[in-house]
Chains A and B, each alone.
Chain A
């Protein structure tokens, strides 16, 4: 069966690629597009390691068909920093040891960024419930939640 040609925008750049109709966006990102920052932890939408945004909506890329990205705007972890300039969340995660093995970190950062865009002053409970879809097995979430809340405070102060 012939592959489908998809035209989309990824991290602000126009992109074209070929894919099978059954490929997920995660498959396309990690395969053809060589954007391996989004990770596969479960391929069933239960762990959030593959989190990206589609038109500013936080989604699991394993639950979006690659073909569905046609004409839409995809943002991935690779687009969170601007060149050398880290996003405040990335900087805080480093400063506060909010990562250990790092496999959940891409998804955690994408999800946290999506939260702070909607809710610049989240309570601890809000942060925890927003991040419930991002599994971490290393940290127990404590430092992640602290990093998100500290970043929110810092960004509000600017």
Chain B
């Protein structure tokens, strides 16, 4: 009845080989918290599942030579939380990953799966975009790097080429006075898909924002890098006018839909509200106040 084959290779080369060979019938299994739900609902009927959790590179969290971080694609939110220093350097990315689902889900779900699932509302993605993360992917034609904001192609789709597997996220070193934050709007306190998600990363020197990136989720077919919002913040002291301008830029960037989670009007308004709140938290963390 089920023609499903489950593979759990020990090496990346084996994984790529099997994944590429099976073509569109194959799916990568990291945490499984999206894949199993889609299989159960009948939305997906894979022929081959390639479990990447035995590949060390996929499961590692390490600091890079220049002081950044590299997170394996299959690292769970819980494992990221338990890392001794990651959360201190990237509290926004950490809280974003750990807002996905429940504690049970966070025991399995990974930033890699969250990104590759291609949901415009995936919680980790706006924070990764704001962080300026770069993903490393590898396929039959070798390894390459993609800016995280260039990965999503549309609801349920990515710009990974056939046979390519996401390997890791590389986060840049943080200049002093930097931090990040992620906020989402959901109707309950937990367990909902984000109606709007905002990630903000800031560097502040002597009260002035010297660097900023803003990621905006659940308001367009893909997560957005809102450069106009960042521009409004850079050079400012995060005064009301700058925040209002950045908020307006987020609202303007929205191309949302009306669905069972939110209306166009609501999402557009909330995008602006959340930008202000998220920036304020990132600033508090960046300046230690």
- Chain A residues, CB < 8 A from B2: 1, 20-22
Question: Which of A10-18, A28-36, A39-47, A94-102 forms contacts with chain B?
Answer: A39-47
Interface string of A27-69 (1 = CB under 8 A from B): 0000000000000000111101001001001111011110110
| Residues A133 and B36 in contact, CB atoms below 8 Å apart | no
| Residues A59 and B101 in contact, CB atoms below 8 Å apart | no
Which B-chain residue is minimally distant from A62 (CB atoms)?
B36
| Residues B102 and A132 in contact, CB atoms below 8 Å apart | yes
Of the candidates A1, A62, A67, A111, the one whose C-beta lies within 8 Å of that of B103 is A111
Question: Counting CB contacts under 8 A, is B97 at the interface?
Answer: no
- Chain A residues, CB < 8 A from B190: 129, 132-133
Chain B positions 73-111 with a Cβ under 8 Å from a chain A Cβ: 76, 78, 101-105, 107-108
Interface size class of B (residues with CB under 8 A): 20 to 34
Of the candidates A24, A64, A67, A131, the one whose C-beta lies within 8 Å of that of B108 is A64
| Residues B33 and A45 in contact, CB atoms below 8 Å apart | yes
Given contacts A22-B4, A62-B36, A63-B33, contact A129 B108 (CB under 8 A): no
Interface size class of A (residues with CB under 8 A): 20 to 34
Given contacts A1-B1, A21-B4, contact A54 B107 (CB under 8 A): yes
CB < 8 Å A-B pair total: 96
Q: Bound complex: CA of A60 vs CA of B40, how far in Å?
A: 14
Of the candidates A4, A24, A70, A115, the one whose C-beta lies within 8 Å of that of B36 is A24
Chain A positions 91-133 with a Cβ under 8 Å from a chain B Cβ: 111, 114-115, 129-133
Q: Bound complex: CA of A37 vs CA of B130, how far in Å?
A: 43
- Least Cβ–Cβ distance between B276 and chain A, in angstroms: 24
| Residues B40 and A43 in contact, CB atoms below 8 Å apart | yes
| B→A interface (CB under 8 Å) | 1-6, 8, 29, 31-33, 36-37, 39-41, 49, 51, 53, 76, 78, 101-105, 107-108, 189-191
| A→B interface (CB under 8 Å) | 1, 4, 20-22, 24, 43-46, 48, 51, 54, 57-60, 62-65, 67-68, 70, 111, 114-115, 129-134
